[in-house]
Structure 1
Amino acid sequence: MPPFETRPIQVQYLKAACSSCSVLELCLPLGLSHQEVERLDTLILQRVRVKKGHTLYRAGDPLSSLYAVRLGFFKTSVLSVDGREQVTGFQMAGEILGLDAISSNLHACSAFALEDGEVCPIPFAQLEQLSQALPSLQHNLNKILSREIVRDHSMLLQMGNMNADERLAAFLLNLSQRLSLRGYSSRAFVLRMRREEIGSYLGLRLETICRCIAHLRDQGLVIIDGKQVQILDLEGLKQRVAGCHNAARE
């Protein structure tokens, strides 16, 4: 059976508080005053524990909440007309899930836990009301939406101007930078997703991903052993991606 089936979400409700969260400085309360964070706390009654392989929501589900990732890794994906999965993103602690549903009030994609994780549900209707009273909260929400747009544009650039090796290099560099912001190593980390999922996200076949891993290793940039990633030359990896951007501008 595929690792992600129509399994119902299995949750455990736990008491939550934004003010004591370890990813406070990366999430929706960023820059809010103590009093403003306390008002946001009133919307988040509990955090939800999601088991690996289970769905948080599915495409077509009505929008009820946005979900701030507190722990773990998630992926979002859609199904093509022939039933194949297309991965649209990977989300980690401090990022928001569910933004895809704001325009139509229906989720356009499904969200799955790649490992045991925790999210903080934020009821969207109440969040909108509170944002009207707190301009700083509205500003943060706008920044998060803008960040998603920029990420989508970056993905289009990768697909349009990068070869396969460059796409994988950009993907690893993106993970490295995001993990570094959270206090983790920028040079050694674990891939929570399968190679097939990386290929789906980057628009590459599994065999191409395997060849790219070998190419980056032979160039002395990265070693990937199973799910363990070791970046040997971080600056070289950055130059590899920057070289593609420079060529695209010429």
Structure 2
Amino acid sequence: MTELITDQHVVSVLRPFVRATTPMLGALRDADPLGLVRRVLGSREEHEAAVELAKVDRSVVKGLESVRVPGTAAWHAMSIADRDDWWVNRVGRFTVLMASIPGIGGALADRLPIQDTLATAGQGLVLSAIAVEHGAEDPATKVRLIAHVLFDRDIDPLLATGDGDLLTDDQEDAATAEMTTDLDESQRTHGKITPKAAAKSLWRLGRTLLALGDELDKRPQGRFYHKAMGMLPVVGLAGDYLGERSALKRATKKGRTWLDGL
């Protein structure tokens, strides 16, 4: 029998997660996402596949002009919708490609939780980013947003603040620190995020969400034809990439609607 996942359990997992997204988003904001992907992957063939897949959807380059970054005058002149799109492409460019790499192995790789783990973490990252653009910077609202979009949960606002949480403050701090340890170490050692630190941090974020078990299956998914294509060796990479791009856009749309209703 599958263990019942309560709203309290969801909050205990998501509160450290949303706190850890802040430094991760800062790192991806300042990095070259596609460059990170090229250097993380393990073979020339995978490098080339990732680069080609990035060209499949031309929207991945929208909003990435160097002048349009958070904190600049050009950024403040952008509409909220344009800022949302910037984050979808900036973060999604990295997370979607990373999540789709297991698709090289076709159906065998799809039996493992790697893709769902990385993709769910990527969707959570984007939702945290657009929450700020909509004026929702507090962790409690981000917890409610992610729970609604990814897990179809309507979390009580008081519960989302950590009232009645399964974790103590010290435990929540420790869980957050564990997810950002690679970013901190990379910053101390290299003065910037490294490809290895970016990949490991994304995995740490996703691995935390594994505690929610089958709840991960509720997240926005790609279309049925993306899944069919993803079952095939090698070309499964393209299917998974397109599917996760579609899923990320659907998650963002659902998130915007929820935020607009606050």
Normalised TM-score (structure 2): 0.23
Task: Tell me: higher relative CO, structure 1 or 2? Use CA pairs within 8 A at least 6 residues apart.
Answer: 2
Higher strand share: 1
Which one has the largest radius of gyration? 1
Structure 1-normalised TM-score? 0.23
